[in-house]
Amino acid sequence: MVAVIGVIWMTLTGENSEQAPNALLGNFLEFLAMASAVGYTLMVKHLVRRYLAFLLTALQSFAGTLFFLPLALASPWPEQVSLSTFGLLIYLGLVITLGAYGLYNYSLTYLKATVAAGYTNLLPVFPLLFSMLLLGERLVVTQWLAIGLVFVGVFLSHDRRQRVPPEAPPAVTD
């Protein structure tokens, strides 16, 4: 809850600029993305009990292909695709889709959904930081405080109790 309050605070303190003419709308859409990520996490956490994580990733990729292929075919295509552009497409397909989502889905077989969902609160933070670093945007003090609040919320969402794995061998005694 602390992290969500930080995200809302960050959203409301955004300022319009040349790169972000409607900061409130952009931050609200980022907030919706964060909420979608939480829903995604809860659904995948439930599904990894029955199915392999990488199978779920493959099914997601297949469903995405079926959904977006008609739109892609209806859009204008370039006359030629450079080797670097083709490499970027392969990178997006393999590293981002299979790597990031596959590993995230795999992590949900071992992590609590609350821990993984806590990290989704960082979704609005990193684009804000990257916009500062890459686009030269300036953050106001309240945005920095909100970012700090998000990190505190993510830290508090961790279960810091030491657990012994169930497959740990018994202790050796003399």
pLDDT tens-digit profile of 123-148? Answer: 778 888 888 898 888 888 888 888 88
Q: In the prediction, which pLDDT does 45 show?
A: 92
Q: In the prediction, which pLDDT does 128 show?
A: 81
In a domain, 61, yes or no: no
In a domain, 65, yes or no: no
Domain of residue 121: give its range.
2-48+108-156
Whole-angstrom distance, CA of residue 142 vs CA of residue 121? 17
- In sequence order, which ranges of 13-166 are alpha helices (DSSP H)? 23-47, 53-74, 83-91, 102-107, 113-120, 125-135, 141-156
In a domain, 98, yes or no: no
Q: In the prediction, which pLDDT does 174 show?
A: 55
> Are the C-beta atoms of 146 and 10 separated by less than 8 Å?
yes
In a domain, 129, yes or no: yes
pLDDT tens-digit profile of 93-127? Answer: 888 877 888 888 898 898 888 777 777 778 778 88
Query: In the chain, pLDDT over 70 holds for what percent of residues?
Result: 85
The region that residue 136 occupies, defined by phi over 0 for left and psi between -120 and 50 for alpha, beta otherwise, is left
| pLDDT exceeds cutoff 80 at 24 | no
In a domain, 60, yes or no: no
In a domain, 24, yes or no: yes
The pTM of this model reads: 0.63
- Residue listed under structure tokens 């990290």: 119
In a domain, 16, yes or no: yes
In a domain, 131, yes or no: yes
DSSP 3-state of 16: coil
Whole-angstrom distance, CA of residue 111 vs CA of residue 121? 16
Count of domains in the chain? 1
